[in-house]
Structure 1
Amino acid sequence: MTIQQMPGTDRAETERLRGRIADTLERARRRTIGLTECVDEAELVAQHSRIMSPLVWDLAHIGNQEELWLVRDVGGREPVRQDIDHLYDAFKHARADRPALPLLDPAQARDYVGTVREKVWDVLERSPLRGGDLVEGGFAFGMIAQHEQQHDETMLATHQLRTGEAVLSAPPTPAATATVTGEVVVPAGEFSMGTDTDPWALDNERPAHPVHVDAFAIDAAPVTNEQFLAFLDDGGYERPELWSERGWAHRVEAGLTAPQFWEQDGGGRWWRRTFGAMQPLRTHQPVVHVCWFEAEAYANWAGKRLPTEAEWEKAARFDPATGRSRRYPWGDGDPTAALANLGQHHLEPADIGAYPAGASPLGVHQLIGDVWEWTASGFDPYPGFRAFPYREYSEVFYGGDYKVLRGGSFGADQVAARGTFRNWDHPIRRQIFSGFRLARSLTADDL
């Protein structure tokens, strides 16, 4: 059935989807441009950390993935720059080695991504957005938008690691309007984890499947700077009994003494460096830039634990009134500025209590946005998993040395942050915008 032959209702729905895709792709590109135009060429080609790529590599990689999937696969067009595919294949070159490659220079990279995007607009205009799995519901376009936004968040992390004066700006986060303390009890029972219905959900979020979770308590908010400072002041970084054997070995080897980017002045006051600017530590802000081992040690100190991935998702999505799983904690509607801190609209987490309208039905706050939250779970496939559209997105990482993070950060875009979205990283990583909240199993007295 061609677009012209579609019934009126179907045609209108397809055009709405086409407009949504265009808006989503444009939003990602505006952010990419903002993150790469604010520094000079020397900064674009520099490697600001061995665990990160030069910004110019991320820029051209974004264009290369867009060319591979949308221009060549969906559009069936001739390659734009097939000769550079190997340079921007993330599996062929470790991040530490990428500066030595014959990469496109900044001007060439900008021209390349611009040329690719012009071809993508033509592909989008001509696509029926239905038929095979790759185009049904605009999946491939949504996948590429998510890919670009994920690299934008990676580039934002690179900006945090770079030295020199601040080049990024954003308005301050909203003030807290609600007092959020204590725990929330999540009742025992089965809920639907993952999704079969979200058209842009990635393969590791699928399929939806029933999971039984015992009753547990979860903190109503992420751990704050003030709470983490109490752990630090109580000698948390000097007490091996609080750390796992591997975690303590990493703490010693890496010389961890506080969350990354924390600095203490001569008077004992703590500051945090945020994109080149030093700021006094905000006590009611979620702690950020901590690795999984630091979160685990804090949990041991507090007499609690990290939630499992299933517990986190049930706390975020389960509606006890209806028994169904929502797309987001607040419902199925898309995020807004009143519901969650997403999209780099601010350059830091908001204070606890800043988004009461975004709380889950059970009263758990700030599950989406602000900070990625470490969970206790490793990264494994769901029952019935099917790799799509390529193994290298998820399948090759299953069972590796990874821990799952949930929820999205202030640097994550709404297209790549939902109640089912799964992020994963090595437990030593803390350049990412990572925090955590605690949970605990309930005792017989609690029940």
Structure 2
Amino acid sequence: MNDFKERIAADLAAVRNRSLAYTDAEDDLLLRQHSPLMSPLVWDLAHIGNYEELWVLREAGGITPLRPEIDDLYDAFKHPRKNRPSLPILGPSETRHYISGVRGRTLDVLDRLDLSAPDPLHRAGFVFGLVIQHEHQHDETMLATLQLSGQPGLVRDADLPPGRRPRGADEVLVPAGPFLMGTDTEPWAYDNERRAHRVDLPAYFIDRFPVGNRAYAAFIEDGGYDEPRWWSPEGWRWLRDSGARAPLFWTRDGGTWWRARFGRREPVPMDEPVQHVCWYEADAYARWVGRRLPTEAEWEKACGWDPDAERSRKYAWGDEAPGPDRANLGHRAARPAPIGAYPAGASAYGAEQMIGDVWEWTSSCFLPYPGFHSFPYREYSEVFFGGDHRVLRGGSWAADPAAVRTTFRNWDYPIRRQIFTGFRCARDATPEEA
């Protein structure tokens, strides 16, 4: 096996170790549905294996199906999450046996496939990148489920760099001009990231850092959840219906805000980016400070465009892989890093912490790029296009570097709060400022 295939094999092993670590629990925890928003953990684990069987073994490898009778059970588009506990899904031990058998055959397929072949599933190992990224995304989903469950044991308190206190409304200017949005060169990019296309933007300012807990707490204290003028009509309806008074997992005790984090109750660290806020909350905060959420194009230009080289970077700082001095990724610690912790991870325009820590809401709906072509299946992106979903960018502390880059597009409903989401604000530049 050549070096490239060995790297793929190592990535497959790393993500599987992660999946098994998150599901190393009593059967009851794995079989129970902790929220109607989420699947039972054992469903996610078997779905990971079934997806791998479908794409690596059957589609790329031409192998006879191992368990065709379970395909329907693990089809995410046939069964809403709230209904999955009622399905005759595999139990934990049978699931582990199944995914292990799939993985052994996957490594056999990897060994014999020609990754330079013109077949787009084979070329540059795309099909392996597909399943690696898919598994990492489900691992992040499982972490969100475990956070909702309140189960202890997943709080990793690895040291994170110290922060730097933001100076008031600290923002960076992104001058007017065109940039290339999306990618034609990233071999494992999803269909929704393609094709690269020119976008010309007027000058704007974007926050240097994500909005922090201290700033968000000030919004709450100023009556932000009681004042309809900060909320869109849809957002105000959500607020009235949900009864939300603060980010998810926050509670007030006397003069202190507390949060629940994987079974722990702890004071909210005021120097961290706010997380577990929905799009409506982010939009309301931005209105309160007289700003707005950035568009998806504004976010990507501020993060990845290098105006001197006139090209896109893979990450905010360049093309070098993320390290612990540049971004908080990969569940090194089960929380965002302090604001200002990663000056070495700044973009060409000076924006920081755009990769890792929290997924960042944008104002944009999830829509196809010009020249979009669905590949390898419509249900990854195409069926979600439209006005129902808002785009998130940048990855979170729970995201793996394999599934994060400046062009990567995540999306969700604007009411979602259980995911590891935050935001930063933007504003138009005046002619004098531009």
* TM-score tier (shorter): over 0.9
Q: Which residue of 2 aligns with 1:54?
A: 40
Deviation at 1:400, TM superposition (A): 4.0
Residue 177 of structure 1 and its aligned partner are, at CA, apart by 5.1
1:341 pairs with 2:328 = yes
Distance in 2 between residues matched to 1:218 and 1:409, nearest whole Å: 19
Q: How do 1:227-246 and structure 2 match up within 5 A?
A: 227-246=215-234
- Partner secondary structure for residue 260 of structure 2: strand
Bigger Cα displacement from structure 2, 291-300 vs 350-359: 350-359
User: How big is each residue's C-alpha offset from its partner over 1:313-370, in whole Å with a ceiling of 9 and x where there is no partner?
Assistant: 0000111222221111110111112111111111000001111111111110000000
Looking at structure 2, the residues matched to 62 and 198 of structure 1 have their Cα atoms a distance apart, in angstroms, of 23
Q: Match for residue 183 of structure 2?
A: 195
Conserved in 1, the CA contact under 8 Å of 2:161 and 2:342?
no
Q: Provide the C-alpha distance between the structure 1 equivalents of 2:155 and 2:260, rounded to a whole number of angstroms.
A: 14
**Which residue pairs with 2:252 in the alignment?**
264
Gap regions ≥5 residues in structure 2:
none
Is the 2:48–2:134 contact (alpha carbons within 8 Å) kept by the matching residues of 1? yes
- For the residues of structure 2 that align with 1:422 and 1:43, how far apart are their CA atoms? 31
Instruction: Supply the distance in 1 between the matched residues of 2:226 and 2:164 (Cα, whole angstroms).
Output: 35
Letter in 2 for 1:186: V
**Structure 2 residue 191 is the aligned partner of structure 1 residue 206:** no
Structure 1 alignment gaps of length 5 or more: 1-13
What does residue 302 of structure 1 align with? 289
The residue that corresponds to 1:94 in the other structure is: 80
Q: Is the 8 A contact 2:155 2:261 kept in 1?
A: no
Q: Deviations over 1:350-397 (max 9, x none)?
A: 001111111111110000000000000000000000000000000011
TM-score using structure 2 length:
0.98
**Structure 2 counterpart of 1:441, which letter?**
D
Matched, 1:184 2:172: yes
- What's the % identity of the aligned pairs? 55
Q: Match for residue 350 of structure 2?
A: 363
Task: Find the residue that maps to 1:174 and give its secondary structure.
Answer: coil
1:278 partner letter: R
- Contact 2:61–2:109, Cα closer than 8 Å, also in 1: yes
Q: Say which of 97, 111, 119 aligns to 1:125.
A: 111
How many Å separate the matches in 2 of 1:128 and 1:18?
10
Instruction: State which of 46, 57, 61 in structure 2 corresponds to 1:75.
Output: 61
Helix, strand or coil for the counterpart of 2:116?
coil
Partner of 1:10: none
Matched position secondary structure for 1:218: strand
Tell me the alpha carbon deviations over residues 281-339 of structure 1, each in whole angstroms, 9 at most, x when there is no partner. 11110000000000000000000000000000000011122222111111011111211
Structure 1 residue identity aligned to 2:324: A
Q: Which residue of 2 aligns with 1:432?
A: 419
1:137-216 to 2 correspondences below 5 Å: 137-164=124-151, 166-176=152-162, 178-181=164-167, 182-216=170-204
CA distance in 2 between counterparts of 1:163 and 1:20 reads 35
User: Are the equivalent residues in 2 in contact too, given 1:173–1:349 (CA < 8 A)?
Assistant: no
Deviation for aligned residue 1:180: 4.4
Alpha carbons 1:173, 1:350 under 8 Å: kept: no
Q: Distance in 2 between matches of 1:177 and 1:298?
A: 23
Q: Which residue of 2 aligns with 1:42?
A: 28
Q: TM-score, normalised by structure 1?
A: 0.95
Code of the residue aligned with 1:105 in structure 2: it is: G
AA in 1 matched with 2:214: E
In the TM superposition, what is the alpha-carbon distance from 1:130 to its structure 2 partner?
A: 2.0
Name 1:18's counterpart in structure 2: 5
Structure-2 residue corresponding to 1:224: 212
Does the CA-based 8 Å contact 1:178-1:356 persist in structure 2? no
